[in-house]
Structure 1
Amino acid sequence: MEQIKHQLESHQVGKVALNEPLNKHTTIKIGGPADIFIEPGGIEQLRKTLDLLKKHHIPVRVIGRGSNLLIPDEGIRGAVIKIGSGMDHIEEMGSTIRVGAGYPLVKLAAVMSRKGKKGLAFAGGIPGSVGGAVYMNAGAHGSDISKILSRAHILFPDGTLQWLSNEEMKFSYRTSVLQKEKRGYCVEADFHLEEGDPGTLTAEMKQFKDYRKKTQPWSHPCAGSIFRNPLPHYAGKLVEEAGLKGYTIGGAQISELHGNFIVNTGTATYKDVLSLIRHVQSTIKEKFSIEMETEVEIVT
């Protein structure tokens, strides 16, 4: 990997490191080292990185801010590319804003609300990046990314870039076309935001954020919502009705605040969390005959 590292550095793709601990890059603070870790400095740098890694047949995993992600304690073999600080540009074009995939969603919601741009208040407590939010159609409080996205700029594995419209993204509950038919990486997004009152929008966002603080365990490392809601049911409610709140395996615990969160109490391992997920799935299946599908991405 030393040779690959030197080649990437010679192409000035961005930050490059060997054996980078991934627990530093996940919100649940779990994950072993990546053989090689790259944080590209821009879209072209990302494209160069993917091209070079492809030529050397090195497997690649792309991550954002590390929420909704569970990585093994053994780490990830091959390359991990983090879309982060090098791709966090923002440009305002009237009612449209163009945002880099690495821009933090919480920060974007705060900045736009203060500027009187309406539509992102729901995202004030979602700890992911713009790219991850587009990929999974992140949402809360009755709204989601599909309600405000005009189009997404996608980099495909063959190196081509293409803008996909809202319709072409085929959004549904916590899902987009990028998870199914068209494998690719969101590198930036255009959002349409209406004009609003800055004071009203800031107050609304604060209300949403305060609600999340009271009802969700963000004081402990966690990965966000573990399960998709098996509509019309709600995952957290099912876990609570099954008597599983507070249930612990090793250092992993189902939150006492919200049944759809697993927290790292300080010593949780990948296996602890995975065992707890499987226990919830089998218990809910036995008690309610409902299949619980994970929202968190589990790396195997």
Structure 2
Amino acid sequence: MSILKELQQIIDPEHILIDEALKKHTYTQLGGRADFFVTPSTVEEVQEIIRFANKSAIPFTLLGNGSNVIIRDGGIRGIVLSLKKFKGIRRDGEKVVAESGARIIDTSRFALEERLSGLEFACGIPGSVGGALYMNAGAYGGEVKDCLESALVVDAGGEVHRMPAEAFDLDYRTSNIAAKGYIVLEATFHLTEGDYDEIKAVMDDLTYMRESKQPLEYPSCGSVFKRPPGYFAGKLIQDSHLQGKGVGGAEVSTKHAGFIVNKNNATATEYISVIEMVQREVKAKFDVELEREVRILGED
């Protein structure tokens, strides 16, 4: 039986896209095509897709909402799984439970409406909840590990587990989620009761700082590099006089040196070339290795 027919036995055929352009699913608006782009709507469907891919030795890639990823121009072979239908958010006492495909921004806003404090830092992070756990997303002094209590995951064998936050080895922009082969289904955040106006004031301040400093007018993957010990990546790039420099339609932002923008229909190859140029120049000038925060997937 063909891959398509097998997938149609698992999920609604309307939720299977063939030869789907992945640039439609990334914030950079870059990338080639997926052989099969599937959007399950139940945990059982996710489990069955994983088991089918394992049994048939079909390449399998999880894609969040595409905010912190670059997909190469050759696209991704096999099955690309999107959990964008998993976007529920609910309150449980002083906890907020958010499904993997929900935006972490929306989770932060939900907490505000429920007068719960602890997720204010996430009010400007564009990624999904699953992606936020994957990279221990953070901003303005806060990060996911500060308030994550537990997460529901599917393992590489298709089994579901509820795991405490400590199990994910959350550290600066990293976790063990990829190494363990986990797929996050939902996250539980332990927050505290707070005052609506005070929570909103903090979020308003952070939103203003984000909108005034970041080049939100162009497609980008957000902050490209991790903060090197003892330095700030953006300052190193700025002092290397790289702002405005680029390759093809991609360039280092003139508004925030830590961002690379798709200014004029760039290709993924051009975007990645700018990343590599920045790494070379900063290394040559300051002898500092810039490590990518953004993930690169797919083939040339």
Instruction: State whether TM-score is above 0.5.
Output: yes
TM-superposed CA distance for 1:6, in Å, is 2.9
Is 1:35 equivalent to 2:35 in the alignment? yes
* Residues 49-88 of structure 1 deviation map (CA, whole Å, 9 limit, x = unaligned): 111222222101101100110111121111111111x211
Please list, as runs of the form range in 1=range in 2, the aligned pairs for 1:1-300 lying within 5 A after superposition: 3-12=2-11, 15-84=15-84, 86-180=85-179, 182-299=180-297, 300=299
> Does the 8 Å contact 1:217/1:257 carry over to 2?
yes
> Does the 8 Å contact 2:37/2:80 carry over to 1?
yes
SS at structure 2 position matched to 1:19: strand
Q: In the comparison of the two structures, how many residue pairs are matched?
A: 297
SS at structure 1 position matched to 2:288: coil
Tell me how far apart the structure 2 counterparts of residues 179 and 62 of structure 1 sit (CA, whole Å).
Answer: 10
Tell me how far apart the structure 2 counterparts of residues 6 and 88 of structure 1 sit (CA, whole Å).
Answer: 27
In structure 2, relative to structure 1, the CA distance for the partners of 1:167 and 1:248 (3 Å cut) is same
Give the partner amino acid of 2:131: G
Q: Name the Cα RMSD after superposition.
A: 1.4
TM-superposed CA distance for 1:161, in Å, is 1.7
> Does the 8 Å contact 2:22/2:30 carry over to 1?
yes
* 5+ long unaligned stretches in structure 2: none
> Does the 8 Å contact 1:114/1:199 carry over to 2?
no
TM-superposed CA distance for 1:9, in Å, is 2.4
Give the partner amino acid of 1:268: A
Tell me how far apart the structure 2 counterparts of residues 154 and 134 of structure 1 sit (CA, whole Å).
Answer: 11
Tell me how far apart the structure 1 counterparts of residues 110 and 89 of structure 2 sit (CA, whole Å).
Answer: 11
Identity %: 36
SS at structure 2 position matched to 1:168: helix
Q: Give the ranges of 4+ consecutive aligned residues of structure 1 lying more than 3 Å apart after TM superposition.
A: none
TM-score by length of 1: 0.95
> Does the 8 Å contact 1:43/1:87 carry over to 2?
no
TM-score by length of 2: 0.95
* Residues 210-267 of structure 1 deviation map (CA, whole Å, 9 limit, x = unaligned): 2111101111100111111112211111100111111121000100111111100121
